[in-house]
Copies of this chain bind each other. A is one copy, B any other.
């Protein structure tokens, strides 16, 4: 039962270390790590020119695997910062549509260049990172299907 041999702890510690590694960038952008993940999704949707009527809170939650209890207050803070707009859907008044505002859109290039620089600095070959990531998705899938309610 050695801590160092627990995969769960390796995941937990490495995930937090990665978040820490993002702090310098996030600090200059003025956002938090989960807010950055939300922006990743919104940037992607924006670039894909996806129907804005589908950019709901639950669609974001599906992508990020987060529920409304986490996203609602987070999005409200991002709205206060002027990064996104939150408005009720006209067709279905139950949904809340999240729209990327220009201020949020403009952070994309900064984030992109920071990420490129950080990757270069990382002393791990890119292929290994890609392989690691693939293994993580496999594990995630398995965890989802095994414990899937």
Contact = CB atoms under 8 A, between A and B. Distances in A.
Interface of A: 1-22, 24, 33, 37, 40-41, 43-44, 47, 63-65, 108, 111-112, 121-124, 128-129, 131-133, 135-140, 142-147
B9 A19 contact: no
Given A18-B12, A19-B12, A121 B133 contact: no
B139 A124 contact: yes
Contact of A142 (B15, B24, B47, B123): B123
Contact of A3 (B1, B4, B6, B40): B40
B135 A20 contact: no
Contacts of A15: 11-12, 14-15
- For the residues of A in contact with B, the DSSP-based class is helix
Contacts of A145: 123
Contacts of A123: 142, 145-146
Given A6-B40, A9-B40, A121-B146, A47 B16 contact: no
Nearest to A145: B123
Quickly give the copy total for this chain. 2
A99 to B, nearest CB: 18
A44 to B, nearest CB: 6
Contacts of A146: 21, 121-123
Nearest to A6: B40
Given A1-B43, A12-B33, 6 more contacts: A3-B40, A4-B137, A8-B18, A10-B140, A18-B143, A135-B135
